[in-house]
Chain A
């Protein structure tokens, strides 16, 4: 008796996958003869699940369950139901320890019923073509069920067909390498190590290697951000730093306008369209009469500013980008002006994670989306790809001094430029700095902005230099 689910798999999914993305299977015989097993594979793409279901014998289709992250797939209800029907997954929630335990219980019950499990021991999709260290769960499972074989599978191709952060699948051949079933009598860390080694070994075999062209290692510019409330002197400082650093390398400085420094001097550049648009939007934002009117233009300006970093890398490829105010950190800190009572470290961390698309462990119905509905729409529009800088410096200035400096400029004041709001912003920046340095692994340093220019400059330059040398040691 063939169920509808099996029929859909055989008549629709398999032919479509085969026809659009070709599939080569090496070692299919290893799947025959074993009745209940755990399939483990490297995880690079959403296509992985389809490919692993493609190699299963027809009889096993109904008896196989894939372990999948609920908070990720539950973002669309129809999609969730479809996945639930086709692959009958064991849902895991990575953010909830209680439910994590439940998932483990369900995996156990599946295995005890003599059914199969598909597991991605890397936990989440990695960068294209890289195998991350395995999580320990698979080792514990293998130690517990010594009689159930584990079949390591290496998938080659999905990382090019549909890599992380790309939405457009491309027809490219996929190779699936199935290695013989393994039974273990070792302890769990040892098992995890062996399995990781097996998959890494297949990834280095001859069949996997395709045509490679000579290519210089991509130069990703390191980004330095100077944060601070208005009037803290961050624009002046960042320009000075750019001039100083550009003596030996090329530096792009993104402030109110884009500047490019080489050999210690400002260089003329071909103008960019993004830059022009940003200038217009920025001017419009400065004229806003109220915080409400200020929000949307400023948000657009910040997103364009972030996009400008990509453009900068694409057209000028500088060694270093210096940002006067980081879009990601600014957006998060500015939340305090709108919802002061909600702002705390936890919310700050969540917002940072969502905006920099590291939100795998944040579910769709989290409270933060109700507090800031903008976050939901930004996630939906895929605008949550803001970049996290490598080092952040906060120029800490007393709001009253900053206010005096702003007044002395004699320009028209912006909406948020009064002592009350500036001091709120200062608190927000300090919280953000705390979160960024502790939880996100960024070099962050708060510097007293009341010192002389030379002092501040030497302090910042020293930190940048030391972090750069560290990086070089790491590279070699």
Chain B
């Protein structure tokens, strides 16, 4: 307990998260945001992961990352239309989650990178073929299962890996993503058009995100130059990711009016993270890690 109170980093993180939650509550009360599109719930889940990873052990934190993947994947599979005979493939998809988390916390990067695109993507079609009763719709089913696995385990796994290398980097990314989302909500409600609001939200969020990144760069061991670059890259990738996932959501029938637990709450909350976390992890691995004197 003393460790937590004495740590200025954790205190700052708590303060930042409290401020973000308050903004979120104000947004909900003013009617700009749906009750279920609330970020305050899930950022505190991330806060818990970071806290455990920093103070207890990363092994335990990996379990919580695994649960997040499981819940997201379960929501995705509840919403899609799969054939009953595909259940072996779906169970196989669920089983890749613990493997991913194991490779993350043992720092086996190569295996982490190939587990899903190589082994899961080879085994799941095999499982679907074993359970298959009709040949119609097999390719569709395999595609759906693989896609869900890729988005909700592989992409979130990158964030988990980032938090394994550098928890403050992951926390920085998360705060940036939440700030961007909130700014986007405010701007969308003020400025109507799609392109207009997209450009506006990029322009307004870049200085804020650069500022946040710079202010925590000391803890992330992030050089100033890279902090500025990340400040420019993160909002751009979030916009691309948001655009894509929203298109997929519209096919799945996730709309802000009918969000319910099990009907898109988790997918809608974490959608901005999905594209940005692999990009930031690889940026970190390529440009920053190993090039620093310490870390």
Contacts and interface: CB of A to CB of B under 8 A. Distances in A.
Pick from B71, B78, B87, B261 the residue with the most CB of A within 10 Å.
B78
Interface in B153-167: none
B201 to A, nearest CB: 29
Contacts of B136: 215-216, 218, 317
A157 interface: yes
B7 interface: no
B90 A314 contact: no
Contacts of B74: 22, 171-173
A172 B132 contact: no
Interface stretch (A162-170, A267-275, A334-342, A434-442): A162-170
B137 interface: yes
Contact of A314 (B79, B82, B133, B260): B133
Interface string B73-84: 011011111101
Interface residues of A, number: 26
A128 interface: yes
B133 A172 contact: no
Given A173-B74, A211-B252, A166 B80 contact: no
Contacts of A157: 78
B278 interface: no
B78 A314 contact: no
Given A22-B74, A171-B74, A211 B134 contact: no
Interface string B247-278: 00001110000101111000000000000000
A163 B84 contact: yes
Interface of B is mostly: helix
A313 B251 CA distance: 31
Contact of A168 (B77, B88, B261): B88
B70 A213 contact: no
A166 B78 contact: no
A399 B240 CA distance: 79
Contact of A218 (B82, B90, B134, B262): B134
Contacts of B90: 170
A175 interface: yes
A211 B251 contact: yes
Contact of B135 (A207, A213, A215, A315): A315
A215 B261 CA distance: 28
Given A22-B78, A173-B74, A168 B91 contact: yes
B261 A24 contact: yes
Interface string A53-73: 000000000000000000000
A315 B133 CA distance: 9
A168 B84 CA distance: 11
Pick from A157, A160, A216 the residue with the most CB of B within 10 Å.
A160
A471 interface: no
Contact of B132 (A168, A207, A314): A314
Given A22-B78, A168-B88, A170-B90, A310 B133 contact: yes
A207 B81 CA distance: 15
Interface in A284-311: 310
Pick from A157, A218, A315 the residue with the most CB of B within 10 Å.
A218
A77 interface: no
A173 B137 CA distance: 23
Interface in A123-167: 128, 157, 160, 163, 166
A410 to B, nearest CB: 42
A207 B77 CA distance: 16
Interface string A65-97: 000000000000000000000000000000000
A213 B81 contact: yes
Contacts of B77: 170-172
Contacts of A218: 134, 136
Contacts of B70: 171
A212 interface: yes
Given A24-B261, A163-B84, A215 B251 contact: no
B253 A211 contact: yes
B94 A171 contact: yes
Contact of B140 (A160, A168, A213): A213
Contacts of B87: 166, 168, 170
A212 B140 CA distance: 12
Interface in A192-233: 207, 210-213, 215-216, 218
A313 B134 contact: yes
Given A160-B84, A163-B84, A211-B251, A172 B78 contact: yes
Contacts of B80: 210-211
Interface string B125-148: 000000011111100100000000
27 contacts: A22-B71, A22-B74, A22-B75, A22-B78, A24-B261, A24-B262, A160-B82, A160-B84, A166-B84, A168-B88, A171-B70, A172-B74, A173-B261, A173-B262, A173-B263, A207-B260, A210-B79, A210-B253, A211-B80, A211-B253, A213-B140, A215-B136, A215-B137, A218-B134, A218-B136, A313-B133, A315-B135
Interface of A: 22, 24, 128, 157, 160, 163, 166, 168, 170-173, 175, 207, 210-213, 215-216, 218, 310, 313-315, 317
Given A170-B77, A173-B263, A210-B253, 7 more contacts: A128-B84, A163-B84, A166-B87, A207-B258, A211-B251, A211-B252, A213-B81
